[in-house]
Structure 1
């Protein structure tokens, strides 16, 4: 009996190797997604404790938390679920990352809040603000780079843009200004931190994404090396 070494056998072998290689790659993506979402919640907690102002969606969450007595992290999860419901008329399809975002970010925020030490002066508040924004930027690059689907808020903005033909920046600005206004009216914290967040989060996330984008696979010419 002879072993087949023709094109069919070689193609089958390649598929087998490819399938085997995809398992650790997928595991890496899932790990990166969860790590990014947890760090995102922790970063938001740091910005909240800094007390200098938070991002528009957290302003809304703070306002609702004050009015309802529900924890800030749990309210964040509830908002994410409500925003996901708005995807239905926009014909958006959630991914695994979308669902994980709703479940993990607010939960991490809720548990991290009491662990972040309160600042004693403006210098410490400023350090917390900058550190929190940097952490959120890093986290954004991690979970976006995992490529498991957008978060519910990002999906809302891209859905509005696609459905109504608005430029993405117009959709984002309209949604975030509306959310900020409602949150501020309800008692959420708006301040210099809100502006710092708005200006810095894009570049920070972009820089992190360049490092953690899982679509940038190594070339086949490189010799596989085990890395710790």
Structure 2
């Protein structure tokens, strides 16, 4: 268990179980997922390219001659199958990840103004990626289950004793390359997301550990 909490630290908002309804973990979980959905919406509005997993969905949709939505669902199901050998469990966070991010992504793209200048587009993309990375780190520290792709990342970290920054970067770059080969559209925002998101998460987790020492008593 010690290694587990080196990957994802135990905090004052860590839940007692994957399905416990405690105020603090749920509040952190919902806030983190909200800024993730908002961040993904900003990246989409920047028109600098979609996130790597969306590029893969585009490629699969083109090759399979069906919608991107169906492709995304199929990919998520296949990724969830990889959870079994990694002994991962579904929790409240898994379900909320799917629902909350989708809702905030839709609301952001519907109500946020479209950036017009190159500078505005760049700001949208950078803020979007930063929010997505920071939100990803915070929601995972609630320890109430991960979304399909985050779960695969965390499971591989546990299994091979690697840092999130390393595993996430390998996954995102690999998915981006595969999606591109299948016909998906890759932009500068896609590449920046692929190479930076894992390290944004890693730095955020390190900051959480550092700051938590000053605001919370040591965990047993």
TM-score, normalised via structure 1 length:
0.66
Deviation for aligned residue 1:131: 1.3
Residue 107 (structure 2) aligned to one of 106, 111, 123: 111
CA contact (8 A) 1:37 1:105 kept: yes
Is 1:53 aligned to residue 49 of structure 2? yes
Query: Does the residue aligned with 1:68 lie in a helix, a strand or coil?
Result: coil
Is the contact made by 2:39 and 2:128 (CA closer than 8 Å) also made in structure 1? yes
Structure (1 or 2) with the larger CA radius of gyration: 1
Tell whether the 8 Å contact from 2:169 to 2:198 is kept in structure 1 after alignment.
no
Task: Report what 1:130 is aligned to.
Answer: 126
Instruction: From the superposition, tell whether residues 204 and 177 of structure 1 become closer, same or farther in structure 2 (CA, over 3 Å).
Output: closer
Q: Secondary structure at the match of 1:92?
A: coil
Query: What secondary structure sits across from 2:191 in the alignment?
Result: helix
Equivalences for 1:36-185 in 2 at 5 Å?
Answer: 36-63=32-59, 68-69=66-67, 79-160=75-156, 172=168, 175-185=171-181
Query: Secondary structure at 1:94's aligned position in 2?
Result: coil
- CA 1:62–1:214 in structure 2 vs 1: closer, same or farther (change >3 Å)? farther
Mapped to 1, the partners of 2:116 and 2:130 lie a distance apart of 21
User: How far apart are residue 43 of structure 1 and its match?
Assistant: 0.6
Q: TM-score, normalised by structure 2?
A: 0.67
Alignment coverage as a number of residue pairs: 194
Q: Deviations over 1:96-116 (max 9, x none)?
A: 222322332233323322223
Q: Tell me if structure 2 keeps the 8 A contact 1:75–1:106.
A: no
For residue 27 of structure 1, report the CA deviation from its aligned partner: 0.3
Tell me: CA distance 1:45–1:95, structure 2 relative to 1, closer, same or farther (3 Å).
same
The change in CA–CA distance for 1:134 and 1:29 in structure 2 (over 3 A counts) is same
The Cα of 1:219 is off from its aligned counterpart by 3.2
Gaps of 5+ in 1: 1-21, 221-228
Residue 184 of structure 2: SS of its match in structure 1?
Answer: coil
Q: Could you tell me which runs of 5 or more consecutive residues in structure 2 were left unpaired when the two chains were aligned.
A: 1-15
Shift of 1:45: 1.3
